[in-house]
Structure 1
């Protein structure tokens, strides 16, 4: 038989999604894959019901229904502080996963280089490989996940086509400071690189931190592709509605890539989601308050259990240090945790280019009672861990 593609040999299946299957297998509480166990806003569900009874069931315009793009442009312009043309500067995609892939394929040629901060959301490496690009990894150093400016400039000196910026960061919850972002901007300009900004957690930020949109920095809109989705902001991860915002010359090319990747996002869901995009600012303040409460509940529980962690500044993930358990195989540890303790996490090695095996990632986008149940189960972790397993 003929051989399969060589590029797809270079990565495995998603470890995050694999841990959801492990959680389902053992009936564990799923704190691995980052989706809520609570419903989206009632107004949004009511809008979907109304749309389902109507006639919006066929293809929308390939790059997004006009009313969805208009509502999105108005909402993002309000928060980003820059004008956005819904006709020439937006492409609606099937989730931010497609948005990132479309962005990479729009700007990258085979053998181009792309800077990726490590740790990183696991899709980024796969996106680079599928685009034929070569990742250059720059470490974000635990426990505070700062980068070294000299190491970053050394990466830029290799003349990458783009840098991928996840802000707030998955998996660390790091919010890049204005000074860090200005440094990145200066290097992108100096070495003439694009910045692909994954800002899907833009509205989940904890005091005193603030989100700075990279495209809104002086001179950066022309070289930035902003990627995001409605999944996290409105608790609709299953709707798969994402988007790109970029200058018209980039979007014109991205429209073609998107068209041949997926044709278009679901038109009934775009129609219903217009309701959410028109929420007043109070919705986003309440969202922040809800996640502040969940973060406090979960982190206080980890403190009681003497499980060390890095406090997330944004997003809804927390990196937990399991060095105490002599963990050298974090995937095996997470499988054990799901099977014996009943809580599913993601092994940290899924996110790091470096050989880091002592960190695991939990997420706290769950009902408070779910988080409390998970903490109750985690109380048994030291009792259930057999001595023979230490050092695995």
Structure 2
């Protein structure tokens, strides 16, 4: 028997490849986006307590009521928007599941979906699996701003959806109010839907406002807004996220969600609900926490031959290595991992058609000692 692949052009993700190479080479892993420090002891204790209480069976399909209520309260605090916890909030097994289900809810064969490169690598495969076509608009260094006139020109009669990501992985770009208003205008004028990937929403630096599709009422009414507790509480392995959408869209979203994962990690839902209710300061302090790490990392690399690009949010730092090597970015990352024991991610893998540049991505969601050790090696290049 010969199975015809639905994704013949894809293999193992670059994140898995580089993390595996880092393990093999005993290299410092600044490639895959996960912290190497512990989550809050309060959160870990709550997880153990709820598990010990026997809350280890299926949660309700949309998520436990207590967590839905705390998500609604968080959105009210951060963005001043009132959402219905029962009708408009769905807890998912990570943000990637939420993105897949939202894309599956909207996209039908023949539809076009606008995405911005460099783009998170789950978008295009989900679009393809649902019979759609990803229309790639490339953002360019150094600031990776969106040209909304270019976006307008890319919209056709077949365009169904725009996917945005702010704060943006991998570039660290953050939408301004002008960007959100321009997006809202295009969505309304052309009768489109929006998926707003906001998994780094609480990591906005330098005193800039924390803006979201939640802030723009008409956009929010046509949007699936996706967030991640794994990013917010340093527990990426828990795979717990959520999607906020108007009730009519949520009904359709849940029809698919119930046959993808049905429900998500039960004791973790209770633990996260407690954190949001009793320890919300951790969320409020996340921007300052990661800004300090960004600033520390950039200071440590000040004497290196890398040129660091602007980072307005997330926990990623782009670096141009043109002064160091003529290798392409994939080869450079392998060389860096094998020869200098620091793993990074090549930027070209986030593009459909990669630009002629030599830029890689470092993750600075690490202990200071990790960043310091990595910087020592990088400054020797």
Partner of 1:376: 376
CA distance in 1, matches of 2:278, 2:334: 40
Partner of 2:321: 322
CA distance in 2, matches of 1:204, 1:265: 25
RMSD of aligned C-alpha atoms? 1.4
Indicate if the aligned counterparts of 1:156 and 1:187 stay in contact, CA closer than 8 A: no
Partner of 1:193: 192
Alignment of 1:81-96 (within 5 A): 81-96=80-95
Indicate if the aligned counterparts of 1:114 and 1:134 stay in contact, CA closer than 8 A: yes
Indicate if the aligned counterparts of 1:159 and 1:193 stay in contact, CA closer than 8 A: no
Q: What is the CA-CA distance between 1:279 and the residue it aligns to?
A: 4.2
Indicate if the aligned counterparts of 1:153 and 1:187 stay in contact, CA closer than 8 A: yes
Partner of 1:240: 239
Indicate if the aligned counterparts of 2:56 and 2:267 stay in contact, CA closer than 8 A: yes
**Deviations, residues 320-378 of structure 1 (Å, cap 9, x unaligned):** 11122443421121111111111000011111223235111001000111100110111
Structure 2 length as normaliser, TM-score?
0.96
**Deviations, residues 267-305 of structure 1 (Å, cap 9, x unaligned):** 111111112222455323432222111101111122211
- DSSP-derived class of the 1:339 partner: helix
Partner of 2:57: 58
Partner of 1:366: 366
Alignment of 1:153-168 (within 5 A): 153-168=152-167
**Deviations, residues 46-83 of structure 1 (Å, cap 9, x unaligned):** 10121121110110111211222122222222212111
Task: Check 1:49–1:216 CA distance in 2 against 1; reply closer, same or farther (3 A cut).
Answer: same
CA distance in 2, matches of 1:282, 1:272: 15
Greater Cα shift, 225-234 or 266-275: 266-275
CA distance in 1, matches of 2:294, 2:270: 32
Task: Check 1:360–1:15 CA distance in 2 against 1; reply closer, same or farther (3 A cut).
Answer: same
Q: What is the CA-CA distance between 1:4 and the residue it aligns to?
A: 2.2
Greater Cα shift, 141-150 or 225-234: 141-150
- DSSP-derived class of the 2:136 partner: strand
Indicate if the aligned counterparts of 2:89 and 2:242 stay in contact, CA closer than 8 A: yes
2:314 maps to 1:352 = no
Partner of 2:9: 10
Q: What is the CA-CA distance between 1:158 and the residue it aligns to?
A: 4.8
CA distance in 2, matches of 1:10, 1:112: 20
CA distance in 2, matches of 1:365, 1:158: 42
Indicate if the aligned counterparts of 1:316 and 1:364 stay in contact, CA closer than 8 A: yes
Partner of 1:103: 102
Greater Cα shift, 104-113 or 273-282: 273-282
CA distance in 2, matches of 1:157, 1:209: 34
Indicate if the aligned counterparts of 1:175 and 1:209 stay in contact, CA closer than 8 A: no
Task: Check 1:281–1:273 CA distance in 2 against 1; reply closer, same or farther (3 A cut).
Answer: closer
Indicate if the aligned counterparts of 2:319 and 2:360 stay in contact, CA closer than 8 A: yes
CA distance in 1, matches of 2:113, 2:2: 31
Alignment of 1:226-265 (within 5 A): 226-265=225-264
CA distance in 1, matches of 2:58, 2:326: 50
Indicate if the aligned counterparts of 1:205 and 1:211 stay in contact, CA closer than 8 A: yes
- DSSP-derived class of the 2:285 partner: helix
Indicate if the aligned counterparts of 2:305 and 2:321 stay in contact, CA closer than 8 A: no
CA distance in 2, matches of 1:17, 1:361: 15
Size of the aligned set, in residue pairs, is 380
Task: Check 1:205–1:279 CA distance in 2 against 1; reply closer, same or farther (3 A cut).
Answer: farther
Structure 1 length as normaliser, TM-score?
0.94
2:131 maps to 1:132 = yes
Partner of 2:214: 215
Indicate if the aligned counterparts of 1:302 and 1:308 stay in contact, CA closer than 8 A: no
Indicate if the aligned counterparts of 1:175 and 1:211 stay in contact, CA closer than 8 A: no
CA distance in 2, matches of 1:87, 1:333: 49
Partner of 2:141: 142
Indicate if the aligned counterparts of 1:199 and 1:226 stay in contact, CA closer than 8 A: yes
CA distance in 2, matches of 1:178, 1:11: 36
Greater Cα shift, 133-142 or 322-331: 322-331
Greater Cα shift, 285-294 or 26-35: 285-294
Partner of 1:183: 182
Q: Could you list the runs of 5+ residues in structure 2 that have no partner in the other structure?
A: none
CA distance in 2, matches of 1:139, 1:25: 34
- DSSP-derived class of the 1:16 partner: helix
Greater Cα shift, 128-137 or 191-200: 128-137
